[in-house]
Amino acid sequence: MSLMEQLNRKALGLGVPLSVHLDVTYHCNERCEHCYLEHDGTNELTTAEIRNFLRQFADAGVFFLTISGGEPLLRRDCFEIIEFARELSFNVKLKTNAVLVHEKEARRLREAGVEQVQVSVYSHKPEVHDAITKLPGSLSRTLAGIRCMRAEGLKVTLANVLMRNNAQDYAGVQALAAESGSHYTLDPTITPMLNGESSILSLRLPPEELRGVFHDERLVENVQDFCALPGPIDDEIREGIPCSAGHTSCYVSPWGDVYPCVQFPLTCGSLRETPFSEIWANSAQLIEVRSIRAKHLSTCSSCSHLGTCTRCPGLAFMEGNMRGPSSADCEKSYVRTGVVTAGMLASRHGSAHTSGSALVQIQL
C-alpha cells in the first residue's frame, strides 16, 4: 500500500477532511465552450474571509488545498492567498490557464512553495485551442506561462480535456508536455453545468472515438489490463465507498458554500453562516453521502463493473439520483471492456432492477 493510500485510509477512519478544493472566483479571461461554470457573480469571499476559512481548514486537519476558479490569478489577492496557505503548511496545488503567468509570477509561485500547477491545454494547434477557449492567442500565452514555471522548477501538469473538437490532438498535447518536462493527463469527461444546463454534453466524444483513446498504448501503459473484463465482486467492494467526495474531501465555492465535490452540486452549508468543522461533522447532506456504500447503489450494486467503474456520484446526482448510475461512466466502462453495464440495460428496458446476471459481452 502506497503512502497516499495509507494517508487516505487513516483520514477516512478518523473522519478528517484531508483535502479541500477552493474556487476563489468564477470570473475567467477565457470562455471555454465546455466549461461547467457561469463566469459572473458578485459578493465573492473577501481576502479576510478566505484567510479565516483557511485557518478553519487547517484546524480541521486539511492538508491538501487546491486553489482554482474561474481563473484564480484574476484576483489581485491570489498570491497573498497562496502565500498565507503555505504559511499554514498546506500542500498547495494551483489550477490556472497560465495566460497571466510571466517570469515574475512564476518566481513568486516557486518562492511560495506551490507543490504543483495544473494547466489546461486542449490542442497543440493554436486554431483549435483558441477556438475552444474563445481567447485569441491563448495557446501561445499559456505555453509561455508553462515555460516560465518550468524554468523556475515548478511541477506542471498539462490537463487535456478531450471532446469532439480536439479528439485528434491528444498526441500533440502529450508531446508538448514532454517537450516542456511536464506531466500529462487526459480526461474525456464533459459534465453538465452546475446550474443543470446540459447542452454542453453534445461535446462528448462518441463511443467509437472514445474506444480508440482507451486502447491507445501511448496513453494507457497496459491496455490489456485496463480493458480487461470486470472481475469478481467481493464483500470489500460491496462495502466500499463510491468515492472520496464528502468522506475525505470537499469543495468550497467563491461564496463559501460547501459541497461534497466540485462536480457534486449538493449544497451542504455556508461558511459565512456556520464554521467549517460544524458543517463537516453535522451537515445532513454530508452525513447522507457518507452513509452510501457500493451495495446501496440502485442498479450499480448488481453490475459486474462495480469494482472497476469510474462512476461519479456527482454526475449521478445531476442525473437525478446520487445512488443511481452515471450514464457517462456506464458508457466509459462499456467502451473500455466491451461489457454492457447494468445501467445501460436498465435504461434500455426502462427498469432500475436489472439483474447483473443479464450482462453480456459485446464485440466492439
Residue 344's alpha-carbon distances to 11, 55, 133, 358, in angstroms, are 34, 45, 33, 11
Residue 38: pLDDT band (50, 70, 90) is confident
pLDDT for res 205: 94
Q: What percentage of the chain exceeds 70 in pLDDT?
A: 96
Pairing of strands 269-270, 257-259: antiparallel
The mean pLDDT of 134-159, rounded to a whole number, is: 98
| pLDDT tens-digit series, residues 110-122 | 999 999 999 999 9
Q: Which residues contact 120 (CB under 8 A, 6 or more apart)?
A: 32, 97, 158, 159, 160, 161
* pLDDT at residue 363 is higher than 70: no
* pLDDT at residue 61 is higher than 90: yes
DSSP codes joined into one string, 31-52: --TT--S----S-PPPHHHHHH
DSSP class of 332: H
The phi and psi torsions of 33 (rounded to 5 degrees) equal -65, -20
CA-only gyration radius of the chain, Å: 21
The mean pLDDT of 5-11, rounded to a whole number, is: 91
pLDDT for res 195: 84
* pLDDT at residue 360 is higher than 90: no
The mean pLDDT of 343-357, rounded to a whole number, is: 63
The phi and psi torsions of 126 (rounded to 5 degrees) equal -55, -40
* pLDDT at residue 364 is higher than 70: no
As a whole number of angstroms, the distance between CA 173 and CA 187 comes to 13
| CB distance 154 to 107 below 8 Å | no
Q: Model pTM?
A: 0.92
Q: 19 exposed, middle or buried (CB, 10 Å; 0-12, 13-18, 19+)?
A: buried
As a whole number of angstroms, the distance between CA 81 and CA 78 comes to 5
The phi and psi torsions of 160 (rounded to 5 degrees) equal -110, 100
* pLDDT at residue 259 is higher than 80: yes
Mean pLDDT, the chain, as a whole number?
93
Residue 350: pLDDT band (50, 70, 90) is low
| CB distance 271 to 56 below 8 Å | yes
145 by DSSP, 3-state: which?
helix
As a whole number of angstroms, the distance between CA 216 and CA 126 comes to 24
* pLDDT at residue 352 is higher than 50: no
The mean pLDDT of 119-146, rounded to a whole number, is: 98
The mean pLDDT of 247-267, rounded to a whole number, is: 97
Strand arrangement, sheet containing 116-120: 183-187, 156-161, 116-120, 91-96, 64-68, 19-23, 249-252, 257-259, 269-270
| CB distance 117 to 106 below 8 Å | no
The vertex-303 CA angle with 299 and 307, nearest 5°, equals 120
* pLDDT at residue 222 is higher than 90: no
Q: Which residues pair with 23 in a beta bridge?
A: 68
As a whole number of angstroms, the distance between CA 259 and CA 249 comes to 9
pLDDT for res 349: 75
Q: Which residue has the cell 500547477?
A: 117
Pairing of strands 249-252, 257-259: antiparallel
The mean pLDDT of 187-199, rounded to a whole number, is: 90
Give CA 145 to chain center in angstroms: 22
| pLDDT tens-digit series, residues 74-96 | 999 999 999 999 999 999 999 99
